[in-house]
Amino acid sequence: MKKHNDLLIVLAAGMGTRMGRFNQVPKHLLPYSGKAVISHIIGDSFPSHTRVLVVVSRTDELTESYLQLAFPDRDIEFVATNNPHPGNPLFDLQAALKDLRHTGPVYVTVADGVYTLPKTLNANCVFVGERDVELDHHYTMVDVFGDDKFVSAVREKRAVSNKSVPWIGVARFNSKAILARAVNGVTADSTVCTFADLFKFMLKEETHLHAVHTPHWVDLGDEKLYKERARPSDWEKPDRLTYFDGLTVIKYFADKTDAHNFWLKSTKLPVSSIPFTTHAGHFTSYKYIDGTSAYENLSCRGLKNLLDNMQAQMWSTGAFHMEGKTLDRNNWSWVLEKLQYRVEAFEGQYDLSGDGLTGIIVNGVVISKTWTELIENFKKFNHKFSLEYIHGDLTLDNMVVCPYIHPDDEEVTLIDWRPKTCFDEISLGDVYYDLGKLYLSLQIDLHELKTLGPTIVDHREVVEIGFPTNSRLELMRTVFKNWCKLNQYDTRTIEAYSVLHMAAMTGCHQGAFPRAFYFASLAKAHALLKI
């Protein structure tokens, strides 16, 4: 097979000032259809043998790490720039071209959209999409004439004609020399340099530009467009992102230490059902597990086998004793500290107080205290401890049931463990923490909840909050309770942990989730404490 001599330059040094609340990562790393936007560009829109050069900001410590995990077999080059004129991408392009040695065609793309390129002419081309009059002001527009689809004029944003079509942010040039001459010509006398200026310069120099229509193009370049077209879930935690990039699952952590601990914990847990994990900077990755959520396929027998395996391999090893670990404070106080800062943010937003809640009935329970006030009650709660290895987020939705021939052969892989538990411990903690998480996931179908959301019926002083569940989960709860009784685990402590876990979810999600988790857990806590 003849090796192509094409170069792709990805301009990914933008500041993402138009992304609003979706600014936890550079916009080219935001997920779209599972993968980061830049993965769609590099992995789907261009052949694997295309040479790739990514231009990033000098302050960007994320993009290279992500691409290292997403494309471990690709030789991707990086140029870090410190553009003195933000918002003027030609200076970033100029930096990429400065010391570049390349003799073949050059593609240049911005990194805030996904597209499928048609067969390309062996010519200088700009790729265009369908016109949307309401969005004309977003784009550089070009006028096209003749059967050969030559560009006759380039129009700035907001200045269009009925012949204009939007440029989608991708262009092809026959050589580096043609591109560099135009870029240097535009940037020589101005600090405000757009691609419209570049194309106008080329037309003035009598360089022909073909307009090539692109049938599939999704612009994701601002907060409104991203929200409409990517449809990000309110379930996603603001400080975490998950990508499904081919056969690789990649997870982003805002805290780099969490990413490291996530990887480290995978090496420490003495259980065979943890996938091999790698990490780079703020990201971790593991091979995609071919299976389904335990919510869909885990049987009651499979649940019991899982609990037996967890008991044998993690929950009865004497890990704390063997490692000589001691705690200055009990594990319970760590949970309450985590809970306090999460519920305080919610209560502050709605100016809640116990007096204001008096008389409100939630799910049939009369409410008299806020969660901040209830934490004092839980500090006096007489609970059990069992300090061992723990997963930290042991829900059915974090279990993948792999394909099997016979039900007795169910194979469960555990994913998405908590990077750190019990103060500064990575892999050790209270077994009841795991059991409480699992019990909560047996009450609520978290898999369905992500899609359907909670139901909230508010009749002023009477509120009904519902979460998706089913009869199968009811049977599994019976199995779980019987197993806990047989293994002498305290059911009241498990119930308390499950209530605290639900309350802590108030600070993890957006939309209707915080209110639902806050008030539903508040009702459960009042009932548990008999307030």
Per-residue pLDDT of the chain (531 residues; tens, 9 = 90+): 345 589 999 999 976 677 778 888 999 999 999 999 999 999 999 999 999 999 999 889 999 999 999 999 998 999 999 887 777 899 999 999 998 999 899 999 999 999 999 887 789 999 999 887 677 677 899 998 877 789 999 987 666 777 788 999 999 999 999 999 999 999 988 888 899 999 999 999 989 999 999 989 999 988 899 999 998 888 888 789 999 998 999 999 999 999 999 999 999 998 878 899 999 999 999 999 989 999 998 999 999 999 999 999 999 988 887 777 777 677 788 889 889 988 988 888 877 777 677 789 999 999 999 999 999 999 989 888 899 999 999 999 999 998 665 556 678 999 999 998 877 789 999 999 999 999 999 999 999 999 999 999 988 789 999 999 999 999 999 999 999 999 999 999 999 999 999 999 998 888 899 999 999 999 999 999 998
Domain boundary among 230, 249, 281: 230
Domain ranges, residue 218? 7-230
Same domain, 304 and 376: yes
- Boundary residue ending a domain (214, 230, 246): 230
Q: Is 146 left (phi over 0), alpha (psi -120 to 50) or beta?
A: left
Q: Check whether residue 320 and residue 224 sit in a common domain.
A: no
Same domain for 479 and 341: yes
Question: Token pair of 175, please?
Answer: 């050589």
Q: What does the chain come to in residues?
A: 531
Tell me what pLDDT residue 1 has. Answer: 37
> What pTM was computed for the model?
0.90
> Number of folded domains in the chain?
2
Q: What is the pLDDT of residues 169-213, one digit of tens each?
A: 999 999 999 999 999 999 988 888 899 999 999 999 989 999 999
Instruction: Kindly state whether residues 147 and 52 are assigned to the same domain.
Output: yes
* Residue 86 belongs to a domain: yes
Give helix then strand counts, H and E, for the chain: 18, 26
Is the residue at 254 inside a domain? no
Tell me how far apart the alpha carbons of residues 220 and 14 are, in angstroms, rounded to a whole number: 14
Task: Please give the sequence-ordered ranges of beta strands (E in DSSP) within 140-294, or none if there are none.
Answer: 141-145, 150-155, 164-173, 210-213, 216-219, 240-245, 248-253, 277-280, 283-287, 292-293
Query: Which of 509, 398, 507, 501 has its CA nearest to residue 453?
Result: 509
Report if residue 317 sits inside a domain: yes
In a domain, 283, yes or no: no
**Structure confidence by residue, pLDDT tens digits, 283-308:** 999 999 989 999 998 999 999 999 99
Closest listed residue to residue 278, CA positions, set 92, 65, 122:
65
d(CA 200, CA 183): 11
* Residues 176/106, Cβ–Cβ less than 8 Å: yes
CA distances 177 to 50, 101, 136, 182, 204, Å, are 19, 10, 31, 9, 17
HEC per residue, 317-351? CCHHHHCCCCCCCCHHHHHHHHHHHHHHHHHHHHC
**Same domain membership, residue 299 and residue 216:** no
> Are residue 217 and residue 303 in the same domain, yes or no?
no
Q: Give yes or no: residues 162 and 27 share one domain.
A: yes
Closest of 496, 516, 501, 504 to residue 341, by C-alpha: 504
Q: How far apart are CA 126 and CA 509, in angstroms?
A: 41
